Amino acid sequence: MFIVLAGALAVITAFALVVPFLRAGAASESRAAYDAQAYRAQLREVDQDVSRGVLTETEAEAARIEISRRLLTATDAIEAEGGAPAAPDDLRTRLGIGAAISIPLVAVALYLGIGGAGRPDMLLDTRTDFAEQMAQRPSQKRAEAIMERSGFTPPPPPLDTPELQRAAEMVEQVEAVLEQRPNDATGRLLLARTQMRLGRHSEAWRNYELLLTKAPKPDMNLLGETIESMVAATNGYVSPEAETIATRGAEFAPDDARFRHYKALALSQRNKTEEALGLWTEMLKDSEPSDTWGPMVYGYASEAAENLGVPAPPRPVWMSGPTQEDMAAADAMSEEDRDAMIDVMVTSLAERLAKQPDNLTGWLRLIHSYTILGDTEKRDKAIETARSTFADDAKALEQIEAVIQ
């Protein structure tokens, strides 16, 4: 309906633009010419008033002098206007038709670039600035609704592999079983995890929530998977409900990186950047080479430090790449030699990943390196390979997306 209305409006606008140009071809009187005709008519009326005895000859003569003066002024204006050449009729016609065609085309091009014809209609209470709405710290369900209506809901991955197609079929089967046995915790857990794998995060966290309400005691794995699905459903936004889970999880499992990170992220989104930076810095201090989340957390910490105008936290030694000796040697090199050394290091990392593709930390470092070097082609290829390698690992995919951003 919108496209039809917009097309009709474009046609009307084009018609309104071209008609004045086409009419301009007809002869038209200027204001001065109109005035001259009026003054001549007034001179004739003076003569008539004299013949009727309305004016004396003396009054008539005074009126003729004034009207004649105005007539001369109008005549001079007509002569001055005659010195400016008028645009040819065919030029006016071409300008009108050109404007009628080009303006709608430009409007269509702009709409295709920034518009969203496929987006659903937005309710009246959501037609405000997206950032302003999210700054009000909406609830989990409200945030998902805002995301969906604003077109920011992360789309689920396509079912383009046999494994994903079988997973989708499994979801339907498990849902059918749960309709008959709604208290089947094992089945519901399988359903939630499969939904996460398929990118159906909003459905997943609701099933996790049901499991949490019926769990006899706090289950850290359930809490961790629940908050991961909630944050994924809102495209990285940590809702008040998700932050509550992060706080609760950190009380029972203070070393669990999931709860620490999402708590820091929630603080950052609430403009408590300094507290968030402190949590991320502590995570980096406690990190080990086996912690695949290290580069992601370091990225968040560096961004927070930049926003605060303070130095970034030290990068963990296992994540640092070149040693201090390497850096000192690089400082002594020429720019060409330094670039060559960096290229060798990045190429070496890419070759190692080709032999050991299951090294998530390596992929995160490689993507980051290509980003710094500005090598978009290799960066995009590394991102594609990393996504394909860890297609079945929701946590790994989340870290990959974080590095990309």
Percent of the chain's residues with pLDDT above 90: 30
pLDDT of amino acid 26 = 45
pLDDT of amino acid 41 = 84
CA distance 70 to 40: 10
Lowest mean pLDDT of 134-138, 236-240, 308-312, name the range: 134-138
CA distance 87 to 28: 13
Choice between 311 and 401, residue whose per-residue pLDDT is larger: 311
Q: Is pLDDT above 80 for 136?
A: yes
pLDDT of amino acid 126 = 47
- Considering only the C-alpha atoms of the chain, give the largest distance between any 2 of them, rounded to a whole number of Å: 118
Q: Is pLDDT above 60 for 192?
A: yes
What integer is the mean pLDDT of 313-318? 78
CA angle 303, 142, 278 (to 5 degrees): 25
The count of C-alpha atoms lying within 13 angstroms of the C-alpha of 137, restricted to the half-sphere facing its C-beta, is 10
pLDDT of amino acid 71 = 78
Choice between 23 and 400, residue whose per-residue pLDDT is larger: 400
Q: Is pLDDT above 50 for 63?
A: yes
pLDDT of amino acid 19 = 67
Domains of the chain: 2-114 (no CATH), 135-253 (1.25.40.10), 272-318 (no CATH), 324-404 (1.25.40)
Tokens of residue 178, six digits? 């749960």
Lowest mean pLDDT of 167-176, 327-336, 371-380, name the range: 327-336
Alpha helix (H) ranges present in 24-129?
31-51, 57-82, 89-114
Q: Is pLDDT above 60 for 117?
A: no
Alpha-carbon separation of residue 35 from 47, 70, 350 (angstroms):
19, 9, 85
Q: Is pLDDT above 80 for 334?
A: no
Rounded to the nearest angstrom, the gap between the alpha carbon of residue 317 and the centroid of all alpha carbons in its chain is: 36
Lowest mean pLDDT of 7-11, 37-41, 375-379, name the range: 7-11
pLDDT of amino acid 81 = 62
Q: Round the average pLDDT of the chain to a whole number and report it.
A: 80
Q: Is pLDDT above 80 for 332?
A: no
User: Token pair 């708590």 is at which residue?
Assistant: 263
Choice between 162 and 290, residue whose per-residue pLDDT is larger: 162
Whole-prediction pTM: 0.52
One-letter identity of residue 341: M
**Closest to 345 measured CA to CA, from 315, 365, 359:** 365
DSSP 381-395: HHHHHHHHHTTT-HH
Stated as kind and residue range, the H or E segment containing 165 is helix 162-180
For residue range 64-95, list pLDDT tens digits in order: 888 888 878 877 777 666 544 455 556 666 76
Tokens of residue 202, six digits? 């909003």
What integer is the mean pLDDT of 246-263? 93
Q: Is pLDDT above 70 for 118?
A: no
CA distance 219 to 217: 6
Q: For residue 210, what pLDDT band results from cuts at 50, 70 and 90?
A: very high
Lowest mean pLDDT of 171-185, 249-263, 268-282, 356-370, name the range: 356-370
Choice between 13 and 186, residue whose per-residue pLDDT is larger: 186
What integer is the mean pLDDT of 108-132? 60
**Closest to 280 measured CA to CA, from 292, 270, 268, 269:** 268
CA distance 373 to 339: 10
One-letter identity of residue 271: N
Q: Is pLDDT above 60 for 27?
A: no
CA distance 373 to 32: 70
Q: What is the DSSP letter of 183?
A: T
Choice between 274 and 97, residue whose per-residue pLDDT is larger: 274
pLDDT of amino acid 292 = 76
What integer is the mean pLDDT of 180-194? 92
